[in-house]
Amino acid sequence: EKSSEIKGTAQFSIERQQCLLKYYAGEIALRKGDYQSAEGFYQKALTLAEATHWQKIVAYSKGWLSLVLINKGSKDDLNEAERLLDFTVTVAKQYQDRRVVAKCYYNSALLAEKREQPKTFCNWVILAQSEFDKLGMTIAANQMKRWLKNRHSD
């Protein structure tokens, strides 16, 4: 009985390691602009995270998938991106993960920009900037300030 418990724990650990490998492969593909590969990796990470009941990685994968979908840009993709962001920010708030909350605000700004909603865009940028400032993430906060400045100079 003890042996099967250890074997089950080892399998669980291997599944989580595989999940992380897919997750980080998705991040690399996303940074390269390879949205198709990123989407595939994040979907695989999401499937593994759901199978192991790893709520944080489920949320994180959905958050990054939202960015992939925003970049794809069809109406259906944007609607799905919004749904994924809503889920991700809810879980991030439950875990008090302010970095992920800030990133969700950032992604929501990108979504509003893609939908050509300037007022909503500015609201999300202000929220993201505030969170990045609180976290000491000055590069991201300064990017939000530049976005607002450029938006107001149009």
The total of other beta-carbon atoms located within 10 Å of residue 76's CB is 9
CA dihedral 97, 99, 101, 102 (to 10 degrees): 160
Q: What is the pLDDT of residues 59-102, one digit of tens each?
A: 999 999 999 999 999 999 999 999 999 999 999 999 999 999 99
In this prediction the pTM is 0.86
**pLDDT the model gives residue 99:** 95
Q: How confident is the model over 10-20, as a mean pLDDT?
A: 82
Distance between CA atoms of residues 141 and 133, nearest Å: 6
Mean pLDDT (the chain) is: 91
Provide the 8-state DSSP code for 33.
T
* Region for residue 137 given its phi and psi (left: phi exceeds 0; alpha: psi -120 to 50; beta: otherwise): beta
